[in-house]
Structure 1
Amino acid sequence: MKLIYYQKNKNFGDALNPFIFKKLIPNFFDEDPSSIFLGIGSILQFHFPEAHKKVVFSTGFAYGKLPEINSSYDVMCVRGPLTAKRIGIDPKLGITDGAALLKTFDFGEKKKKYKVSFMPHHQSDHNYDWRKVCKEVGFNYIDPLSPFLEVIDAIKSSEVILAEAMHAAIVADTLRVPWIPLKMYPSINEFKWKDWTASLDMQYKPNYLKAPYNLGATSEKIATRLSLEDGLLLRGLSKVHYKYSDMLKRNQFVDQFGDMCKAPQFLSDEKLLDDKVGQLQEKIEVFKRKYSSLYTL
């Protein structure tokens, strides 16, 4: 059985799949695509050949069009109640995100080195120099494409996580680190956030901040276009104007970003989280018994 997850980049949430499932289900996964295991991530919209057996374990839906969930699917559990409703299964199977299984791992005690750490969505990471901005406001920056164990270490070493990346919040919550949700770009999918938060009886209440981009490059293009269009603007003066405008916008954004650490913090009820982790563990054991014939020695 082949473990399926998004692999086009080394995004933190997706990279957790082999670490979690190959440890909890050892000597099992191979490259045989005749049966597949869909793990953590919003990948239910992917289409696979009809004949393949498709085991769904804590997977979520967020994008595109769902395939028909027919007899070739063995849905053991999904990320949350919204995904369960979307694919028409018992809402009790919307347990929670599989990354919650990290609660069963021993990462040791970590000294709190950072008051606030910020982790952007991997797509947002390209839009701005977050490392520089974090340094200016005194936040620790967590690269969403860093090796996953480094990310986990940084999360555990933080007093609070400012999370645009959903799995920054999920893992922080799992490891009992308070988190603050932030949304700056349209690419942040609210359905999957609400799916996960609902699974732990929380609401998704993000702090909205106007999306910053690399403003200097954008303004340069605008100034050049205006100069070419009417022939009246002096390019040099327009560059000064837009550079000054960019500086004001940037300073305003940095101030607002720095204030995000004052926003309400979230942390799920630990008793409920433990119950959900226990349900995931039970599903792991059911899976092992059901597919024991596929084990490799």
Structure 2
Amino acid sequence: MQLFYYKDEVGNFGDDLNPWLWPKLLPQLIDDDASELLVGIGTLLNHRLPEDKILHIVGSGVGYGHLPQVTDKWKIHALRGPYSAQALNLDPQLAVTDSALLLRNVMEPQHLESGDVGFMPHYLSCRSADWQNIAQACGLRFISPEWSVERVFAEMAQCRLLLTEAMHGAIVADALRLPWKALVLGEHVNRHKWQDWLSTVNMTYQPLQLPSYFHHASGLVAGAKDELKRQLQSLGLGKHWYPPKPRNSGGKRRAQVCRSLTDIARQVQGELSQEQQQNHLLTRLNQSLEQLHN
């Protein structure tokens, strides 16, 4: 069977876990046969799923796009969480957890008690502001979700705590027993998918909000076009236009963001799910893998 996952043109850690992890877990099953698809890590259960393929659902969930029509071609081994099961009107017992937890089958939990405080924004935040420079100014270890999976793992291994806006940053940190804390840097965070996963580990989504900050490295022409669009929309024109990028934040806002981030890194207590619950969920996911072989 082939892997079905979202392929970002630059890279996104959560999605890119798929080609890294599944061939290690299922080396005899992952091949070029496109008649069956493995739908694993990611918010993939939407209208974009092929309707003419056999779909093996292992730990994926809803959250983006339109809800799909569940058909007899769906072989549901595990859903990401109870929100996904409810949204699709499926048996709540199908809710297990996000299948990124399966990396515990191929990696040992690891982090440094005396390590750095890591900082991983959402990949869209990385494209709207210079968060790497801010993190470095605050003394944090910047970890981009656009980097390779191996590099992200290597950077996380040097941390004692991970501040993350990226959900799979938290899921992987939790799997590897690295304490983490959720942050919100922008409006693109999908709270439903976070809670979908967190419900399976008996936790709730309680992120810390940083002041909004934008710094687009666009040229003068693109910046002028965005400003013109803002002016016209303020006059009631172009209501159906794609919204322009926000104006770049000034130095005062940048300093405010850096102070907030520094305070969080100094004061926050990291979170972890209970080991017993994680082991229980890992057992259930491994049972799903056994089903794939049958």
Distance 1:268 1:130, change over 3 A: same
1:252 pairs, out of 239, 250, 256, with 256
8 Å CA contact 2:143, 2:152 repeated in 1: yes
Under a length normalisation based on structure 1, what TM-score does the superposition of the two structures give? 0.84
Alignment of 1:52-201 (within 5 A): 52-107=53-108, 111=112, 114-201=115-202
Q: Deviations over 1:59-81 (max 9, x none)?
A: 11111111210111111111111
Residues of 2 paired with 1:209 and 1:279: CA distance? 36
Secondary structure of 1:273's aligned partner = helix
- What's the CA shift for 1:156? 2.3
User: 2:26 — aligned with what?
Assistant: 25
Q: Deviations over 1:223-277 (max 9, x none)?
A: x87xx99xxxxxxxxxxxx99x822222112101212222342110010001001
- What's the CA shift for 1:149? 1.3
Secondary structure of 2:55's aligned partner = strand
Residues of 2 paired with 1:48 and 1:263: CA distance? 40
Q: Which amino acid aligns with 2:257?
A: F
- What's the CA shift for 1:119? 0.4
Return 5+ residue gaps in structure 2 as ranges. 233-246
Root mean square deviation of aligned Cα: 2.6
Could you say which structure has the higher helix fraction? Answer: 1
Matched, 1:6 2:6: yes
Larger Rg, first or second structure (1 or 2): 1
User: 1:280 — aligned with what?
Assistant: 285
Runs of 4+ in 1 over 4 A off after TM superposition: 107-113, 215-218
8 Å CA contact 2:81, 2:97 repeated in 1: yes
Under a length normalisation based on structure 2, what TM-score does the superposition of the two structures give? 0.85
8 Å CA contact 2:108, 2:176 repeated in 1: no
Q: Which amino acid aligns with 1:273?
A: Q
Secondary structure of 1:268's aligned partner = coil
Q: Deviations over 1:110-155 (max 9, x none)?
A: 6456321000111110111112111111100001111101111211
Secondary structure of 1:85's aligned partner = helix
Q: Which amino acid aligns with 1:276?
A: L
